[in-house]
Every structure is written in structure tokens, then in C-alpha cells.
Amino acid sequence: MSEEEIIVKDSNGTRLADGDAVTVIKDLKVKGTSVTLKRGTLAKNIRLTDDPDLIECNVEKVKGLVLRTEFVKKA
């Protein structure tokens, strides 16, 4: 058995890798907090997860945030 590589793509179809920087493409409310991520917010040094639709990142106000790839584009 060969382990398949998980391909993670942003909203534009660009491949993402660990350590990339991404930009939020629409205002998002963060569950469990009163924080709203504004469009254009930069998240640096992302980490890929086992799910190709999710990435982990840190932004100024929230640490350990998990975002759906449909709401980000590669910076």
C-alpha cells in the first residue's frame, strides 16, 4: 500500500504547503470568540491537516485557528 499525498488547494486552486502565507477573502466570525477576521487578514506560516479542506494558522488575535481552504487565497 502506498500512502497518498494530500493535496491542499486554496479558493483559486493554487496548491498550499506547510509554511505558506494566506489571506482571508471574506469577513469571518470566529466561533467561541467575539473576534471577526476582516477580509485581507494575513495568516503566516500555515500548517496542513489530515483534512484537505482545513488548515491551521495563527493570526494576531487568535492562536491555533483552523480555517477552511475555501475562504483563503495564497499570499
Domain ranges of the chain: 8-74
Q: What φ, ψ does residue 71 adopt, rounded to 5°?
A: -105, 10
Domain 8-74, CATH: 2.30.30.40
Specify the residue for cell string 496548491.
15
Q: What is the pLDDT of residues 12-54, one digit of tens each?
A: 999 999 999 999 999 999 999 899 999 999 999 999 999 999 9
Look at the pTM and tell me if it is higher than 0.75.
yes
Give residue 7's identity as a one-letter amino acid code.
I
